Amino acid sequence: MNRPDAGTPRTGSDDESMPRTVELVFDRHGGYTRAEARLSWRGRTTAGVGFTRLRSGDRSLAEVGDELAAARALADLANRLESVTARDMDRLPGTP
């Protein structure tokens, strides 16, 4: 669960700022929107994917479909990052 102040910039802290960028790439093909969320960090790239189906004639809803595909890709990316972190922690000596 996020802290109540999550996302709030900290001041007066010794923590280094480590900005990272998540790239979202969209592709529409065959009635589907595919979104891929990519994060490059510490020498590796992790990606998540999300899909939505477009109904014919629903071009006015295409942006909503893009948002849903992006949300699904970001959720997939978060799950993959958690798995990568768990594997990394298993390799550390003295980790419970």
E strand residue ranges, 1-96: 22-29, 32-41, 44-53
pTM of the model: 0.73
d(CA 85, CA 87): 5
Confidence at residue 85, expressed as pLDDT on a 0 to 100 scale: 86
Confidence at residue 95, expressed as pLDDT on a 0 to 100 scale: 62
Which of 93, 1, 81 is closest to 42 using CA atoms?
Answer: 81
Confidence at residue 90, expressed as pLDDT on a 0 to 100 scale: 86
- Domains along the chain? 22-91 (3.30.160.240)
Burial 27-39 (b: 16+ CB within 10 A, else e): eeeeeebbbbbbb
Confidence at residue 41, expressed as pLDDT on a 0 to 100 scale: 84
Q: What is the per-residue pLDDT across 33-57, written as a single tens digit (0 to 9) for each? A: 999 999 998 888 999 999 999 876 6
Rg of the chain on CA atoms, in Å: 18
Q: Which residues of the chain, if any, have pLDDT below 70?
A: 1-16, 56-59, 95-96
Beta bridge partners of residue 29, listed in sequence order = 32
